[in-house]
Amino acid sequence: MVIYLSSIEKSFFWIVIVATIVGILFSFTKARNYEGAGASKIGSMLLYVLVATIGMKINIVRLIEDWDKYWAVILIGIIWMLVHITILLVVAKLVKAPFFFVAVGSQANVGGAASAPIVASAFSPALAPVGVLLAILGYAVGTVGAIVGMELMHALYL
């Protein structure tokens, strides 16, 4: 089995990698203090644009029509979510984490920065920044995990 980064030549791969690194680097500079200038309002608007853009690329009808072709991918997604839920609940039980961290941590990993602050705000509006921080950490870890997962799936379908 040969494992290689099949997407390393694609521009989208580099956009994601560079955006992740730049975002993390900016969090250590004075740029993180632009809340007074309305950074979170602009950021929230851009998150809605991001979610809408991702949603526009999904073709549910084709997925249903070509069920026999894509059933394995759907099964992998279901298994992935079951593993996510299991690990989250077991670790939360072991460290006796409050439900807030379980809910926001899960949403940060699954929905990212678009939805984690919303879930955190449901508990208390003051906790929205915690949702953002968990989402950023989820993005950083998730980017690496997604690349590894993509390469494993690519190797399976060769």
Tens of pLDDT, residue by residue over 1-56, are: 555 566 667 777 777 778 778 877 887 888 777 766 666 677 667 666 666 666 66
5, part of any domain: no
Residue 4 belongs to a domain: no
| pLDDT for the residue 96 | 92
Query: Is the predicted pLDDT of residue 90 greater than 90, yes or no?
Result: yes
Looking up tokens 């208390």 gives: 124
pLDDT value of residue 82:
92
Predicted local distance difference test score (pLDDT) of residue 36: 60
Residue 74 vs residues 32, 59, 92: alpha-carbon distances, Å: 38, 14, 27
Q: What is the mean pLDDT of the chain?
A: 76
150 inside domain: yes
Q: With a cut of 80, say whether residue 79 has pLDDT above it.
A: yes
Number of domains in the chain: 1
Q: What is the pTM of this model?
A: 0.51
The pLDDT value recorded for residue 57 is 66
Q: What is the DSSP-derived secondary structure letter of residue 10?
A: S
Is residue 1 domain-resident?
Answer: no
Q: Let me know if residue 69 belongs to a domain.
A: yes
Q: Is 6 inside any structural domain? A: no
The domain in which residue 22 lies consists of 11-156
Q: Is residue 3 part of a domain?
A: no
